[in-house]
Amino acid sequence: MKIVKGGKKGAENFDYHSYKEAFLNILKQFQKKSEPATENFHVAVIAWNIGNIKMQGVPGFEFLMETTKTSSGLTKKEWKLMQEMVEYRIKHFSNMPLFIKDIQNADDEENFTLEIIDMDEFIIEGTQDHIGDDFDDEFDDDDFEDDDIDPEIMLQQEGIINRDIIIVTPTEEFLKFSGLDKRESVYFIPEFYDFEMEYKSWLRKNFKSIFELEICELDEDMWPKKLTFTLFEKYFFVRRLEMGYDLLSEPIYKE
């Protein structure tokens, strides 16, 4: 089993055979009985590299996920599979910090080879090259003819919106404190897919905006002296929904 060693010094001290075995492990973990393990090579490469980026705390992860979703060419089913592979990769192979640049002999489960590179080379060559664009040749250009579509028409379509939704419900303690009637508020937030930790991190950073909107009807002298996340959790129950569907064709109007 040959493993192609990729370029830089940071990658020279690692066991490349272990990387191949780990990658094959992911493929077989999500393999369907009716399909060869090689069926999802391209999904697994994207998952490996995205998992690596998330694991190493690279800035801009949410933006990368957004762009990857639109540019990788993955179907809805493949995107869900990719997310599951990411979590599995992080859980079981967190000690493997190198990236997969390319696969050779991708149709051969026993004799495929990986080109492994380190973070420096991954950044220099461009993350998108190793996440979404390596597999563009699987799709015909004729499949995508959006240039002929009027952008105004594209906006005026019903469909799934690119937002998660949170429903904020006041607790009994908040209702007693505020004297307000019980109600639910809906907020559109960035998409986090199945990455629960990313969502919780976002909520901790942005809860004050929601808190202020929820108490805006109160006189300011009734506002808590300090808006803390602990108090936010005490006063509000938050439920997240991962898919919203807009049944109207006209664009949303914002004030």
- Write down the pLDDT at residue 135: 37
114 forms beta bridges with: 103
Main-chain dihedrals φ then ψ at residue 6, nearest 5 degrees = -90, 135
- Residues 172 and 126: their CA atoms lie apart, in Å, by 51
In 3D space, the residue among 5, 4, 88, 1 whose CA is nearest the CA of residue 44 turns out to be 88
- Write down the pLDDT at residue 138: 39
* 3 state SS for 71-93: HCCCCHHHHHHHHHHHHHHHHHC
Note whether 158 and 185 are within 8 A (CB).
no
- Digit-by-digit pLDDT tens for the chain (255 residues) are 334 444 444 455 567 889 999 999 999 999 887 788 778 888 899 999 899 888 877 666 777 777 777 777 788 888 899 999 999 999 999 889 899 988 888 778 888 888 888 887 777 665 554 454 443 443 344 544 545 545 555 455 677 788 889 999 999 999 999 999 888 999 999 887 666 777 888 899 899 999 999 999 899 889 999 999 999 999 999 999 887 888 887 777 787
Note whether 43 and 138 are within 8 A (CB).
no
CB atoms within 10 A of CB 39: 15
Tokens 């149709």 correspond to what residue?
107
CB atoms within 10 A of CB 206: 13
- Write down the pLDDT at residue 5: 44
In 3D space, the residue among 166, 170, 149 whose CA is nearest the CA of residue 235 turns out to be 170
- Write down the pLDDT at residue 12: 53
- Write down the pLDDT at residue 103: 85
CA quadruple 105, 109, 110, 115: dihedral sign: positive
Given its phi and psi angles, is residue 58 left (phi above 0), alpha (psi -120 to 50 degrees) or beta? Answer: beta
- Residues 240 and 250: their CA atoms lie apart, in Å, by 25
- Write down the pLDDT at residue 184: 93
- Write down the pLDDT at residue 84: 93
CB atoms within 10 A of CB 19: 20
Q: For the chain, give every domain's residue range.
A: 4-144, 153-246
- Residues 74 and 44: their CA atoms lie apart, in Å, by 11
- Write down the pLDDT at residue 254: 80
- Write down the pLDDT at residue 156: 58
| Cα-based distances in Å from 95 to 15, 56, 109, 137, 197 | 12, 11, 24, 32, 20
117 forms beta bridges with: 99
> 244: which residues sit within 8 A by CB, 6+ positions away?
160, 161, 163, 164, 165, 188
pTM: 0.48
Packing angle of the helix pair 76-92, 41-55 (nearest 10 deg): 50
